[in-house]
Amino acid sequence: MRTIDWNDENETLIMVDQTLLPIDYRMIACDNIGSLCEAIQSLRVRGAPALGAAGGFGIALAASRSSVDSMETLLDELKAAGDTIKSTRPTAVNLAWGVDRVLDAARDAYDTDGIRKIVLQEAKAIADEDVELNKRLGAHGAALLNDGDTVLTHCNAGRMACVDWGTALGVIRSAVEMGKDISVIACETRPLNQGGRITAWELMQDKIPVTLITDSMSGHVMRQGLVDSVIVGADRITQDAVFNKIGTYTHSVMAKEHGVPFCVAAPVSTFDFERMEDEVEIELREGDELRFMAGKQIAPLDVQVYNPAFDATPMENVTAIITENGVFTPPFLLDEVRFLL
């Protein structure tokens, strides 16, 4: 079952509601842009590649709900829907990439029916390609792992963060499929606990050995020699930095200090190589995500909170970037990366 998909019967976007995991596995349907935006903002659907698919399907949803019969008006409506979708979460570049790819495809149509058909085809192509490219990415990454390795990961870069298979967890799945014995240390990933709630659950479903730790334990386990490599996903890769879930940078510093390879697994659609770190907006989320946990107050109600959802890891801390087109290694030169993308 895919994490996000299109229901042809009633023309709705369906997805796993990830806020309910691991207690409940439930599909929900979005039948308008408002409910899709709510689902993205509240992380019912999350993870950069899944957001790329959500962006693409969002345009298909807007097209299917519009009854205008002028091409120009329909294209304007879709562009406005795209801007609304893109504004929900600013850091993961795949969201805007998915929206823009489908909007670009719409311009090839000759009439409004053609637009509706093309945007849905393109959105479905994004979803299909995501599954296929994650398998290729996984195979490239799996070759880097040795039988018996323990991999530390952060947040969730698994099938729930993609349409299927996963990026960082895709590498682990591919290595296991090749017959390698791989264990995983999953960092909890405060404040929304994607590591504990989703990564641990996903790996246990696949019977891949996983041990849950708090984020602050990563230095300790590396110092103890318990980690062979770190593999994380990415939300955006600029020329000088990898943006990923808050806490990733700290793990990269610990990995460098302890001589542990720090690898990033991400599809080409996550690269934003024309930009530099300081041009990227890091999403700031509600303070209540730190003041409350599972509905229970855990800090003073009026305490000031700083809650960035992502951080930037400088390229000098990155050992390899694993993509569907192969593995990039330092110095990550602009021309070399452009050529391979």
User: By CB under 6 A, how many residues form the interface with ligand MRU?
Assistant: 18
CB of 339 to ligand MRU, least distance (A): 24
Nearer to ligand MRU, 19 or 84 (CB): 19
Judged by CB under 6 A, does residue 323 bind ligand MRU? no
Amino acid identity of residue 177, one-letter, is E
Choices 4-12, 27-35, 153-161, 311-319 (CB under 6 A): range interacting with ligand MRU: 153-161
Rounded Cα distance, 161 and 232, in Å: 12
DSSP 186: E
Judged by CB under 6 A, does residue 49 bind ligand MRU? yes
Judged by CB under 6 A, does residue 155 bind ligand MRU? yes
Judged by CB under 6 A, does residue 43 bind ligand MRU? yes
Judged by CB under 6 A, does residue 194 bind ligand MRU? yes
Choices 8-16, 108-116, 119-127, 228-236 (CB under 6 A): range interacting with ligand MRU: 228-236
Judged by CB under 6 A, does residue 62 bind ligand MRU? no
**168 contacts 232 by C-beta, under 8 angstroms:** yes
| Element spanning 133, H or E | helix 112-142
| Element spanning 152, H or E | strand 150-153
Rounded Cα distance, 183 and 166, in Å: 16
Rounded Cα distance, 44 and 15, in Å: 8
Judged by CB under 6 A, does residue 244 bind ligand MRU? yes
CB-based contacts of 273, cutoff 8 Å, min separation 6: 237, 238, 239, 334, 337, 338, 341
308 DSSP β-pair partners? 284
Judged by CB under 6 A, does residue 199 bind ligand MRU? no
Judged by CB under 6 A, does residue 309 bind ligand MRU? yes
302 is catalytic: no
Judged by CB under 6 A, does residue 138 bind ligand MRU? no
Nearer to ligand MRU, 81 or 155 (CB): 155
**186 contacts 227 by C-beta, under 8 angstroms:** no
Choices 46-54, 144-152, 222-230, 320-328 (CB under 6 A): range interacting with ligand MRU: 46-54
Phi, psi (rounded to 5 degrees) for 153:
-135, 165
CB of 324 to ligand MRU, least distance (A): 12
CB of 43 to ligand MRU, least distance (A): 6
**Alpha carbon 47 to its chain's center:** 3
Rounded Cα distance, 313 and 48, in Å: 17
**276 contacts 239 by C-beta, under 8 angstroms:** yes
Position among 75, 126, 162, 221 found at the interface with ligand MRU (CB under 6 A): 162
**Catalytic pick from 235, 240, 302, 311?**
235
CB of 162 to ligand MRU, least distance (A): 6
CB of 298 to ligand MRU, least distance (A): 20
Rounded Cα distance, 231 and 45, in Å: 22
Rounded to 10°, the helix 71-86/93-106 angle is 180
Judged by CB under 6 A, does residue 234 bind ligand MRU? yes
Rounded Cα distance, 222 and 128, in Å: 37
29 DSSP β-pair partners? 14
Q: Which of residues 246-285 bind ligand MRU (CB under 6 A)?
A: none
Rounded Cα distance, 38 and 16, in Å: 14
Position among 245, 249, 313, 318 found at the interface with ligand MRU (CB under 6 A): 245
37 DSSP β-pair partners? none
Position among 157, 208, 315, 322 found at the interface with ligand MRU (CB under 6 A): 157
Judged by CB under 6 A, does residue 321 bind ligand MRU? no
Question: Which residues are part of the catalytic machinery?
Answer: 235
Binding site for ligand MRU (CB under 6 A): 43, 46-49, 92, 155, 157, 161-162, 167, 194, 233-235, 244-245, 309
